[in-house]
Structure 1
Amino acid sequence: MTPVRRRAWIVLALLVCLMLVNYADKVVVGLAGVGMKEDLGLDDAEFGVIQSSFFWLFAVGSVLGGWLGGKVRARWLLAGIAALWALSLAPMAAQVGFTTIVACRVLLGFAEGPTTALAMQVAHSWFPAHRRAVPSSIVVAGAGIGPLIAAPVLTWVIVTYSWHAAFGVLAVFGAVITVLWLLGGDSGPEGAGGGHGGVATGPALPERVPLRRLFSTGTLIGMCLLFFVAYANTSVKVSWLPLYLREGLGYDATTAGNLVALPYLGSAIAVIAVGVLSAVLTRRGVGSRMTRGVLPGAMVLASGVCTIAFSSLDRGTLQMVLLVLASCLNSAGYGVAFAGLADVVPAKQRGAVFGIVTGIYSLGGVVAPLVVGRLVAGGESVALGYGDGFMVLGVTMIAGAIAALVLVNPARDAAKLAAE
């Protein structure tokens, strides 16, 4: 293994750690939700506001971070972002009120907004176009590994000590990952991100394409819709799944904490497996429309069907299997979908475009937790309210996935851009 390739995998491991902490920060409010609601006297609608507030400036942070990604060295930019995570979590370790919680979540969302886009940009700078599907999927797997580890650990901290202690633990880990990234993280060789399509034989893209032209391609429109509905699912899982298991289905705190880890375990495995599958299909000559368009679109469609199915079932093994399967299918296509975006976007514009795409799909994270909160608060019972919320989510996912299946075609759009 060459020194550059070895360094590439070290940086990839650090990016996974960043994503791990990033998503652990997201899931902690759901795990601490019952205690927070009891201590602060919050109803479901107010708790929905806390969950949604994380996403209020998420899009702003995504776009700003994407823009800075082309101007500020990745070592310093990602370290500064991780430091902001720690600063936003630290106040929650003490006694705080509703307004302070909302303010801290808004700051955390702003800081975490650009993380996925920047992590993808850095990962793609270390690997050639035809080898990006697996590294992209490994980065996304960090999003599943984070809650997988955090759910049982933070639940134990909450049960043993308090929900404040859980935020303190995450603040410390945020500081640690900041130092680790400063020591070993950075962008890769400029040539690794070359301005070619995602397949080795693809057309050479221009150095720059007007953003209006890029966002008028079927691939970017379809991917934005697909990411929007997929992220709506992700945000509901992060925000409401722990409470659904406890309040809607009646599991105790420890059991719920362990069950919450199952969807993330499945997602981490599935996203890497799909990345490998996409890479194998690419090597065998299968086009990017299938490997990076139809594949993730079909998975989100199937996830929507599973979401509708588990929302209509009573508590039991079958329901939990469908819940885990819905999560796995929803997450599995993220990595190859980002690789599909890279097929169409010139290398020098990826940071900005990934940031804008992240900002667009983060709106699903603003809307979905609020809608579920309203439906839970207005349901005939808590269980029925949750059922209605997941039913609406599943229907929305199916609609978005069908649109993506029709629109996404990276090879076609890259060829059109190259010819202009």
Structure 2
Amino acid sequence: MNKHILIVGGGYVGLYTALRLQRGLRRELRDGSVSITIIDPQSYMTYQPFLPEAAAGNLSPRHMVAPLRRVLPKVRILNGRVTKVNHAARTVTFQPPEGDARDLAYDVVVMAAGSISRTLPIPGLTDIGIGFKTVGEAIALRNRVLHLLDVAESTDDPEVRRRALTFVVVGAGFAGVEALAELEDMAKDSTRYYRNIKPSDVRWVLVEATNRVLPEVGPEMGRWTLEQLRERGIDVRLETRLESCAGGHVVLSDGTEFDAETLVWTAGVKPSPVVSSSDLPLDERGRIRTLATLAVEDTPGAFAAGDLAAVPDLTNPGEFCAPNAQHAVRQAKVLGDNIVRYLRGQELAEYSHKYVGSVAGLGLHQGVANVYGIKLRGFPAWFMHRTYHLSRVPTLNRKVRVVVDWTLALFFKRETISLGEMEHPREGFRAAVATMRR
């Protein structure tokens, strides 16, 4: 009897679980007794730690993604969304990009849809806000920053200029600090090509509701990072909340008000909406409750890992694993092996990994790290950041392409061209049609 394994999500957990299954079930996949399907809106996996470098132009966006169909030749890839999981009936409702939704049956389901940005009902957030979780958002943000430098250079209105050159980042965790540091570094580097814009004209504001930045690297390294950001002229506002940004008018909880064209929202994540449309058990934070084996509690045939799963941290009793790539990649390997054991009626292994620490990039040749208690800053931390993440990029093909990008960057200046028209490719054609009508 054919067993169908359905993986919801093609990110870290989805890709690495499928890779593990391809190896562990080689014979079963060959004889057709097992089949694997991945459902994801995209046909690629994004290596998110490289989003800041892609946004800053240090890395080609195509080199930080892994094409699922090429990497997983024995897996069926369906592009679309899962809108409902009915585990009692062992079916999911699949909505493709075009056409009607349909139900797909499975024997084993892997919930690996990850997370989305956690937003708040702040006036105007959807007007100027942009997230920082996808390649599209990273490249759109890069184009926006460079486009606004063009706007500022081309206007005589001081208010328009000031508004264009003001950038706000909300959230001082990994995503916020790394995005801010890389983009600030890129903008500063770009000003050399503008006659009327100096680095000091570009204002960057970091807004954080707590009293620290980069809590993942510890208090000491967090304080050092804060000092470095402020030395670079970045306006860091701790214990401050964004109250409103309606019409581009930013209002902070400390009473500060100013205008800005761009706001990057990185203030946390929440589980993918698909979990709330399932009959799987959830915790108070909306995550799927799992055992240390990554099997869903009291739910045979269901597994979950990554950002949407509440996985017990065996190295820290009473706590759960943090939603980061370090855990996701390692969980996926255990998860893949456990599914093989489940299909063969064997005992499942428990996931246990002591958090080794964190590394963060702060722009070209700058970084901060706290790994196994060893604290590094500046160039050594930046080098460790690149080395670690290079080792985690899937496939040799992608590793080589990343190294080539970095090597070229040593000898050639990065590109500082805004290609914002890529986001609206039909505007020129529409304008030409309108001209003919007149």
- If the length of structure 2 is used for normalisation, what is the TM-score? 0.25
Q: In proportion to residue count, which structure has more strand?
A: 2
Q: In proportion to residue count, which structure has more helix?
A: 1
